Structure 1
Amino acid sequence: MPKLDVYHLRSFGWENDPEEERLKLSTLDYISVSTYNNYCLFFRLEDALKARAVQVLKEGLERTLSQARHLVGRIERDPEGGHHILRKRDDTVEFQVQWLDAPEDAYKYPSIDDIERTNFSTVTLGNLEQWSVLPMTYGERPEANIETHPVVAAFKMNFVRGGMLFHMHHHHFTNDVMGWYGYARQIAENCHAIFNGTSFPSWDPAALDLSRLCKPSPVPEAMITVPPALKRHPAHTKGVSLLFHLPKSKAAKLKNLCSPTEGGGLVPYLSTYDCFNAFIYRTLTRLRAPVFKYPSDTKLFWAEAIDMRRRLQNPKPAPRIRGNVMFCALSNNSAVEQPTLAQVASQWSLSRLATYIRQMTDSVTPEALDAALEMVNIAKNKADVCLTVDGPPPMSMVVTDHRDAYFGDVSFGFGTPLAYRHLADRITNGLIIFYPPRNKSPESDEGMEFIVYYEKRLARQLIEDPEWCEFMEYRGVEAEDSVVREGDEEEDTEEVKVVNVEQVMPVQQDEKK
């Protein structure tokens, strides 16, 4: 059995903390997804540094927990009907350290070379529960329901041959991806200072202030009960997570396809983001349409999570503000003309579809956010306001942009991450996550990576589609669905393989010799 050390960390200076602190969830936090997130950073690390890395990270976490104070405690209900994070003076955060590199265990688990060779795939790791702090793996599971008083966060180091994986779990109602990125960089800077004996970074207490995103409690007579949050739509079939890469040169070529004139005039400004979103939307719709056979005039559900940190002013949020400071553009709740299935699949030009994406993105304004907060505020059952990614029917699409969460310039002292992934073993069909490039050097053609949570039975068709392959490079299966649902075994699915997985075991055997 691998060695597992479990620590219960208190924040630095906890002895002087108040007996209790309550950090209120903002009105906006309820719009996110009721799940745990499992973010992982991958490091190359020599054996001689591993014990030192444990101590540095342990101390770095303790200091960060005294700053990013919302990471300690549990989510509890307010007497007035909302929720807060209850942080008690002697509360701790679980920190696990697992050694998967001992001689007797080392070849049961992939090395950092194996993991990098397969593009940091969750599939390469095997059973994700082995690598995580349970029950904090991703998914809209009962343990993440905020009425069950869920713990906010936990952390785990997993040592493998040649490296280390650092897992950071937190409840989505307490952080979006950029909220995580803010405290993750704070951990890194604290660790860097400890490792090198230099001064510690500053921390702006304003990062804990969510007042801009909170509405005062309405009078009881104004409160309403909203419908329960959606469950997984019954028409969804077994899914798989596929990893693709869009090289910079191909992204530029794709953007050029969005630049022709429309109706005799130039189209509005379109970013590369608009263009690759349109291309992905078109391709997935074109390939899915013959299978699901919806009427051609069907209005498909499309949603986009948008970081509001750069859009909010007066006051402007602190750079590392906690919580969910993101809002969603929803195709079924927007004044923007919503295309039909036929228009998305073929009738609209790519530039017009990209213009639709741009209009949806631009529709998410501070004023629209305030109006939505007023609506959420009057809900008695706020926990049911949250988005359920696979609640809409098949052929829906939800995109979330993680490209700003770049760690290639972030030193923890003992190392700089090779890559980051949001690890998952529960597949919510229709979700798209855009990752930052692993290499941002000007001479590199490395572009963004992205994962598509997609129907497994249709995966091979997407991977081999000639138009898709002209731009997108397939980098393997990122994750498989660990949940067995009724009817899964009846599906006629064609096996899809992790890129280079055939080479993993031979490499291990050669090294063992």
Structure 2
Amino acid sequence: MAFALSKSVLPRLLPAYKCARSIPTRPCTRPLHRSLLSRSESAPYFSRTLASLARGRTETFQIRPSGPQAEQEEAFRLSPLDLIVTQNYSTWALIFKLESADTAAIAETFKRALAATLGQCRHFVGTVEKGEGGSFSIVKKPDSTARFDVKWLDGPGDDFPSFAELERAKFSSQSLGDPGLLTIEGMSMASKRPPGTSPEVSGFQLTFIPGGMIFNVHKHHAVCDVTGTTSLVHQIADHCYSIRHGTPPPAWDEAFMDRSRFIPPPVDPKDQVQPPPPPPRHPDWLPCSWLLFHLPQSRVAELKQLAAPGDGTQISTYDALTAFLWRVMMRNRAQIYLPDLSLPAVFLESVNMRGRLTPKVSERYQGNLLCGGLSQLQEKQLTLGEVISEVPLPRLAAYIRQITAGVDARTLEGFLAAMTPVADVSAMHSRLDIFPPMSLAVTDWRRATMCARDFGFGRPAAAKQIADVVYENMMMIYPQRPAPEDSAAAADQGLEVVIPFETHAVDLLIQDPDMQKYFEFVGYEAGAP
């Protein structure tokens, strides 16, 4: 999760919670298993290495952008909105069904589509480099490339689940197994690469599995948010379709890469201020897991009715869902951390600003354009006791709506003004672990329509974030999966939500009567015991 916070807000986000214990925790990661013995050779738009692994076979290509600007050196200046975000990679896996296919031809289609896409979306190739006055830019040089791994795990000895098995498991990350098999080493979610370390901005992996394939997009979060990633995925898909069917290639608008609207004017060095030291990780966090739950469509309607005010006012699915889960999570976490229930409840959410500005910004914009909705900025904050039980659920849903509605163009303007004199904005990047264990941060990915485009060999059946780390207070609402062929299942497709909870006590949440009434537990997304 990543969004803009002004430095003046930070001191208000660290209430002194009284907890029953103070136990240091550690990232919930899984080891990455990869060993490449390679040789290189040249090809028209890529160079290639071959690797023999204990499981499957891998070919690694270095994709060079095609097109008229491929040989030019370019620098794409990053805005404060790009620098304030988490400094890790984000990895999105698109899972396809393949009845029978020429895997070599599909891999070739992806190579050509990636070269064409990177020739248009040119800030997705290269590295982040530091410039003058504390600025950072994505620098694309004539020899810049993006890594593309093609892996075959579809053989009888590879012991990887088939597409049919993944579908039966509702594509939970637990069913996919070791995330290291599906991600490029050094580009997983747990890989922290600050802008000052010249991180590569992207990488791609295509993995063939029995009856299907998984296409994984890795991008450094400084490049763009999930909406920008969706824009990139659509461009790749349209190029794949064009290559497969001989149709005209997709157009591209340079404005989708233009961050100038969100880059403040330079400040004289003598007027710059140094960023404050980063807050420490909150000491009371216990190791957590991410759990995947399914909410059938019929239950969505029931939740909305449960959270609806009595005056006939409409309530959104987001408000109802988030209010319900905030209440259930805090009620169960209170049994673990024993907090002072009179303290303010800390709630954060990331808000896509593209449609909240005048003029509006295109949904195809490939940059970070998020601001934070914060309970701490409300005139009257709800307490933990009120969130857990003391106010009706419709009041809690209305409170969330109030927080969301308060994020507007002035929020963004205030953030940019606060960041203008800061010598190095990246030093103030967002971290959720500074907040106490009874906090909740929500990100809504339902509009990330990565499965909407036909790649020429079909649409993805699911889009998943491949995680090898858990953010202990971050809840994610997944993009809705395409309706399955079975008509009964399609009618009740509903929503999927990833919820963090303390690993040693997950049964508290899974067996909660309210959760069991509305939600189906699907499996672990990360941090399985």
Q: Specify the alignment match of 1:327 in structure 2.
A: 371
Q: Secondary structure at the match of 1:470?
A: helix
* Counterpart among 134, 146, 168 of residue 217 in structure 2: 168
Q: Match for residue 60 of structure 2?
A: 6
User: Relative to structure 2, which stretch is displaced further, 114-123 or 462-471?
Assistant: 114-123
- Mean Cα deviation higher: 180-189 or 226-235: 226-235
The Cα shift of 1:428 comes to: 1.2
Instruction: Decide which moves more: 158-167 or 388-397.
Output: 388-397
Counterpart amino acid of residue 99 in structure 2 = E
Equivalent pair of 1:267/1:355 in contact (CA under 8 Å): no
Asked if 1 retains the 8 angstrom alpha-carbon contact of 2:242 and 2:456, the reply is: yes
Indicate whether 1:197 and 2:246 are aligned. yes
1:303 corresponds to? 348
Closer, same or farther in 2 for the Cα pair 1:226/1:301, shift >3 Å?
A: farther
Instruction: List per-residue Cα deviations over 1:13-40 (Å, max 9, x = no partner).
Output: 26x5454210011121123211100110
2-structure distance, mates of 1:359, 1:198: 47
Indicate the SS of the match to 1:395: coil
1:289 aligned partner, one-letter code: A
Residue in 2 aligned with 1:469?
A: 516
The answer to which of 374-383 and 423-432 deviates more is 374-383
Is 1:287–2:332 an aligned residue pair?
yes
The residue correspondences of 1:367-378 to structure 2 (distance < 5 A) are 367-378=410-421
Q: Compared with structure 1, are the counterparts of its residues 130 and 228 closer, same or farther at alpha carbon in structure 2 (3 Å cutoff)?
A: farther
Q: Distance in 2 between matches of 1:365 and 1:336?
A: 17
Distance in 2, Cα, partners of 1:174 & 1:230? 24
Cα contact 2:76–2:138 (8 A) shared by 1: yes
Distance 2:442 2:527 in 1: 19
CA RMSD of aligned residues (A): 1.8
C-alpha displacement at 1:239, in angstroms?
Answer: 1.2
Answer with 169-178 or 390-399: which moved more.
390-399
Question: Could you list the per-position Cα deviations for residues 458-490 of structure 1 after superposition, in whole angstroms to 9, with x for gaps in the alignment?
Answer: 211111111122211211112226xxxxxxxxx
Q: Which consecutive unaligned segments of at least 5 residues does structure 2 have?
A: 1-53
Aligned partner of 1:129: which letter? G
Partner of 2:455: 412
For residue 87 of structure 1, the aligned residue among 131, 136, 140 is 140
5+ long unaligned stretches in structure 1: 482-494, 496-513
| Contact 1:25 1:83 (C-alpha < 8 Å) held by counterparts | yes
- Per the TM alignment, residue 115 of structure 1 is displaced from its structure 2 partner at its CA by 1.9
Give the superposition deviation at 1:53.
1.1
Partner deviation per Cα, 1:41-72 (whole Å, 9 max, x = no partner)? 00111343322210111111111001111101
Using the TM superposition, give the Cα deviation of residue 241 of structure 1 relative to its aligned residue in structure 2, in angstroms.
Answer: 1.1
Note the C-alpha offset of 1:440: 5.1
TM-score, with length taken from structure 2: 0.86
Partner in structure 2 of residue 137 of structure 1: 188
Map 1:56-67 onto structure 2 (within 5 A).
56-67=109-120
Over 3 Å counting, the alpha-carbon distance change for 1:267 and 1:389 in structure 2 is: farther
**Alignment map for 1:12-51 (pairs within 5 Å):** 12-13=66-67, 16-17=69-70, 19-51=72-104
Contact 1:267 1:351 in 2 (8 A): no
**Residue of 241, 247, 253 corresponding to 2:302:** 253
How many residue pairs are counted as aligned between the two chains? Answer: 471
Task: Give the structure 2 partner of residue 218 of structure 1.
Answer: 267
Residues 73 and 88 in structure 1, CA contact (< 8 A), matched pair in contact too: yes
How far, CA to CA, are the matches of 1:202 and 1:257 in structure 2?
A: 46
Equivalent of 1:426 in 461, 469, 489: 469
Give distance in 1, aligned partners of 2:257 and 2:381.
37
Check 1:62–1:117 CA distance in 2 against 1; reply closer, same or farther (3 A cut): same
Tell me which moved more, 189-198 or 440-449.
440-449
SS in structure 1 at match of 2:238 = helix
> Which amino acid in 1 is paired with 2:63?
L
1:400-448: CA deviation from partner (whole Å, max 9, x where unpaired): 1110112443110022101001110111111111112224599612111
Calculate the TM-score normalised by the size of structure 1. Answer: 0.88
Q: Deviations over 1:72-130 (max 9, x none)?
A: 1000111121111011011111000011112332xx22222222222222222322112
Name the residue aligned to 1:121: 172
Do structure 1's residue 271 and structure 2's residue 316 form an aligned pair? yes
Q: Is the alpha carbon distance of 1:72 and 1:408 closer, same or farther for their aligned partners in structure 2, counting shifts above 3 Å? A: closer
2:231 to 173, 182, 193: 182
How do residues 395-410 of structure 1 correspond to structure 2 at under 5 angstroms?
Answer: 395-410=438-453
Asked if 2 retains the 8 angstrom alpha-carbon contact of 1:376 and 1:385, the reply is no
Q: Are 1:318 and 2:379 an aligned pair?
A: no
**Counterparts of 2:229 and 2:102, CA distance in 1:** 26
Identity of aligned residues (%): 35
CA contact (8 A) 2:228 2:368 kept: yes
- Distance in 2 of aligned mates of 1:243 and 1:260: 29
* In structure 2, distance between residues paired with 1:177 and 1:277: 19
The aligned residue for residue 429 of structure 2 is 386
How many angstroms apart in 2 are the aligned matches of 1:397 and 1:453? Answer: 9
Partner of 1:449: 496
Measured after TM superposition, the shift of residue 269 of structure 1 is 4.5
TM-aligned CA distance change 1:268 to 1:359, over 3 Å: farther
Query: Partner amino acid for 2:188?
Result: T
- CA-to-aligned-CA distance 1:229-254 (integer Å, 9 cap, x gap): 34543221111111011122211111
- Residues 1:178 and 1:185: Cα distance change in structure 2 (over 3 Å): same
